[in-house]
Amino acid sequence: MKYRTLLPILDQWFAAGSTRAGPGVVPCRAGCTACCHGPFDISPADARLVAHAVDRLDADQRTALHQRAEAQLARYREVVPAWGPPWDVAALGDEAFDDLVETLAGLPCPALGADGACVIYAHRPATCRMIGLPMVNEDGDILENTCPIQGNFPEYAVLAPVPFDLEQFESEAEACDDGAMDAGWGITTVAGAVACAPAPAPQAPG
């Protein structure tokens, strides 16, 4: 299964949970960016997806996104001077990455455009599609997926976890990761994926 075909399964889970909660209870929507701050790791398949999204932007948006990503990577270097391309989180190690995440927790995601919206929303990583609703898997394990502003919405903050066949999803996602790794992608961040996205083919003159 293609990763872009797999991700809508997560969106359907979220939509079902939101509908079950009742009208207006879950405030998550395109344009809310409460959870779009601080570096987080994305899978190889997500990294390839982000690179694909970068390629589809118009030239001005792409240039601006690259500049924001490079600015964020410069901040990474201040915290972890030895880290660099391909911004491989696995190579960096959990402890150093956790330090980075904690230190830069307030940094806006580079995919947030000048108008404050995500410029790659249709191609956003899996993590971005899960935050905001607690999930319970087939073994009864709960992923909190806490939204940073849910405390402002009493009904939202106490929602019961929404069931999801995570094992099946992860198995399909793993196959997509294998394909992405074969294409040279690793575990990175949104900024890392943007910086490593191939440059667009030059436009033919005229």
The answer to whether 50 and 191 have CB atoms below 8 angstroms apart is: no
Residue matched to tokens 């207006």: 24
Contact call for residue 109 and ligand SF4 (CB under 6 A): yes
Please say which residue, 92 or 126, places its beta carbon nearer to ligand SF4.
Answer: 126
In this structure, what token pair is assigned to residue 81?
A: 């001077």
Q: Which is nearer to ligand SF4, 40 or 163 (CB)?
A: 40
Residue 190 near ligand SF4 by CB under 6 A? yes
**Using the rule CB under 6 A, is 66 a contact of ligand SF4?**
no
Site for ligand SF4 in 133-152 (CB under 6 A): none
Residue 114: CA count within 13 A, CB half-sphere: 6
List 7, 28, 69, 118, residue binding ligand SF4 (CB under 6 A): 118
Residues 28, 147 contacting (CB under 8 angstroms): yes
Q: Which one, of 43, 44, 42, 45, lies nearest residue 1 by Cα?
A: 45
Piece in contact with ligand SF4 (CB under 6 A), picked from 2-10, 84-92, 119-127, 147-155: 119-127
- Can you tell me whether residue 112 is helix, strand or coil? strand
Give the C-alpha separation, 150 to 21, whole Å. Answer: 14
Residue 111 as a binder of ligand SF4 (CB under 6 A): the answer is yes
Pattern 18-57, ligand SF4, x by CB under 6 A: ---------------x--x---------------------
* Burial state string for 22-43 with b = 16 or more CB within 10 A and e = fewer than 16: eeebbebeeeeeebbebbbbbb
Which residues are near ligand SF4 by CB under 6 A?
33, 36, 109, 111-112, 118, 120-121, 124-125, 128, 190
